[in-house]
Amino acid sequence: MTAPVTSLNAITDATRAAVADNPAAAAVVFKASAEPESTVGSAITLGKYQVHVDEPPALGGQHTAPNPVEYYLASLLSCQVVTYRFWAERLGIQVDSLRASAEGDLDVRGFFGLDESVRPGFQQIRVTVNVSGPETAERYRELQEAVDAHCPVLDLTTGATPVHTQLIIGA
């Protein structure tokens, strides 16, 4: 059974109407929790879903699942795809096919504390988006600009997001 087709513009319009008089209604809280699994893996609960994370053997894992930075790339790509789809409809840009890929450069000296001048995260990420359809190159560049300006996961990387950690001992 296929899901009914929903206009993405209708979702945007409904959201606009819902938050017009009450901007606080736009605030959404997403939650996740994690527990250790095997040597360096984790079982992550995301609402009603559970995903597993592991590392390759070179980092102490058994490579039974993607590692955290691979999940980040998956998050970035899936967010890019959905943002392209929303903004293509919003801008009236026809997209016949869409494919995205990403690769990131990570220097493990930062993670292991072997060189404090090396950040532990990606040093660089390259995202490639292949799009085709009847529009001009200029229209697809307009779409890319809208996506780059509105993709939440891209914003997590390019903007500073405050993160507050709390340690609870003996709980």
Q: What is the pLDDT of residues 72-106, one digit of tens each?
A: 999 999 999 999 999 999 999 999 999 999 999 99
Domains of the chain are 32-65 (no CATH), 67-159 (3.30.300.20)
CB neighbour burial string for 49-60, b if at least 16 within 10 angstroms, e if fewer: eeeebbbeeeee
Per the CB < 8 A criterion, the answer to whether 158 and 121 are in contact is no
Q: Give the pLDDT band (50/70/90) at residue 21.
A: confident
